[in-house]
Amino acid sequence: MTWKASDEQYELEKYRMKKEFNIVSLHQVVNALFILGIILIGRNNNITIGDFVAYSQLLSMSTATIKMLSGGIGTLINQGLYIVDMNKFITIPEKTTKKMAVLEHVDRTHIFSVENISFKYPNSDSFILKNISFAISQGETVAIVGENGSGKSTLIKCLLGLYSAKEGRILIDGEDIEDIPQKELYRKMTALFQDFVNYELTIEENIALSETEDINQIQFNKAINEAEVIQFLDMLSEKEKTTLGYTLDNGRELSGGQWQRIALGRALYKEAEIIFLDEPTASLDPISEVKLINRFIDICKGKTAIIISHRLASCLSADKIIVLHEGRVIEVGNHEELLLLRGQYYQMFQSQANSYQYQVGCSS
C-alpha cells in the first residue's frame, strides 16, 4: 500500500480549519447583528431598563443556542472527516503481486532472509532503515533492540509486509515477500503490538476474532491456557461468553493486565508459524515484563519468534539479538557474544543494570 499521508492530512486539516472558521465567523456575525439591533432600537425609541434586560437575555439565549448549534455542526464535520477516511480505507484494493507465490517448505534453513533493505516514509528524504541485512532461522527466538528511533518498529512492519521496502528485498521461505498474496502471508504470521485493541466483544469473540463464525474449540482452549486467560475466566459467571467493556449491557471491564492476556491469546489462537511481539510490555514493570517474555518464549518453542523490547533483561534467553542504531544493523549475536564485543549492546545493558542497582540501593 502506498501512502500520501502528509498531503492528505494537510488537506483534511485545512478543510477542517476552514469549516470551523466559517462557523466561528457566523457566530460572531450573529452576535454583531443582535448588538446592532439593540443599539438601533435604543436610538430610535425610548428603551426602558426592563426592555434592555429583556433584549440582553434574548441575546444571551440566542448566542448560547447558536454556540451549541455551531459546536454540533463542528463535531459532525470532524466525524465526517473520519468517515471519509474509513470509506477510503475500506475501498483500498487488495495488494496485487507480480506472481502468485505460495509459501511451501522451500527453504527451511532461513525462514527470513533480509537482503539490503532500506525504507523511508513518503514525502521524506531521510531513510529510517538503511541497507539492513540478516537471516532468521526456523525455530529461532530473535530479539531486536536499539535506542528509541532506531527503526525497530518500522523493521517489524516491513517483515510483516505492512510496509514495502524502497530498496532490497525480504525473502520468506525463499519467496520475495512482494510476490506473496496477503492472505497467504498473514496466514503464516501473527503479531502482538504495544497498542493492541480492546475489542468490546465477548472473550470468545476477542480471542477467535479471525474466525468468529467457526471457532476451533481445541485452538481456543489451548490459547486461553497458554495466555493464562483461564486464570480469570473461571471467575466470570458467563465464562468465555462474557461481554467485555461497558458499551454493551452487562459488560465486564478488565484490568490492563487481563486485556493484555486477551490480546496474547488472540495472537496465539491463530497458531501461526511466525510470531511477532512488538513491545506490548512497555507499561509493565521490569519483573512482570521478564515473566511475560519468558512465558512467551516457552509458548513459542518450535516456532519462530521475533521480539522487540526496550528492556535488555528480556533478551537473555533469545537465540539471536539484532542491535539497531540509527536505522542500521551494527551488532548481531547472542547475549554473551554481544557482551564480549563491548559495543552498543554492552553499553545499553550496563546502563540499564546500573540503573536497576541504583534503584535497589535507594529503596534499601
Which residues does 202 contact at the CB level (< 8 Å), separation at least 6? 240, 241, 242, 243, 244
What are the Cα distances from residue 163, in Å, to 55, 169, 186, 329?
62, 12, 13, 19
The whole-number pLDDT of residue 8 equals 57
Q: Where are the beta strands (DSSP E) in 68-176?
A: 110-119, 129-137, 141-146, 167-172, 175-176
Please provide residue 22's backbone torsions phi and psi, each rounded to the nearest 5 degrees: -65, -40
The whole-number pLDDT of residue 185 equals 81
Helix (H, G, I), strand (E, B) or coil at 142: strand
With beta carbons less than 8 A apart as the criterion, state whether 108 and 138 touch: yes
Which residues does 62 contact at the CB level (< 8 Å), separation at least 6? 30, 34
Burial 155-180 (b: 16+ CB within 10 A, else e): bbbbbbbebebeebebbbbbbbbebb
The whole-number pLDDT of residue 287 equals 67
The whole-number pLDDT of residue 68 equals 76
For 266-281, the DSSP string reads: HHHHT--SEEEEESTT
- What type of residue sits at position 142? V
* Cα 22 to Cα 27: distance, rounded to the nearest angstrom: 9
Q: What angle do CA 189, 139, 229 make, to 5 degrees?
A: 60
For 289-318, the DSSP string reads: HHHHHHHHHHHTTTSEEEEE-S-GGGGTT-
CA end-to-end distance (rounded Å), the chain: 54
The whole-number pLDDT of residue 110 equals 52
How does strand 320-325 pair with strand 304-308? Answer: unpaired
* Cα 334 to Cα 318: distance, rounded to the nearest angstrom: 7
The whole-number pLDDT of residue 14 equals 67
Residue matched to cell numbers 492476556: 261
The whole-number pLDDT of residue 1 equals 39
Write out the three cell numbers for 68: 451549541
Helix (H, G, I), strand (E, B) or coil at 326: coil
Q: Each residue's pLDDT tens digit in the chain (364 positions)?
A: 334 445 555 666 666 677 667 767 776 777 777 777 767 766 666 666 676 677 777 777 777 777 777 677 767 766 776 777 777 777 777 666 555 545 554 444 457 888 899 998 877 788 889 999 998 888 888 989 888 888 888 888 888 888 888 888 888 888 888 888 887 888 888 888 877 888 888 888 888 887 666 778 888 888 888 877 887 877 777 787 777 877 777 777 777 778 888 888 888 888 788 888 887 655 566 666 667 777 777 777 778 888 887 777 777 788 899 998 888 999 899 888 888 989 888 888 888 777 555 444 444 4
The whole-number pLDDT of residue 94 equals 66
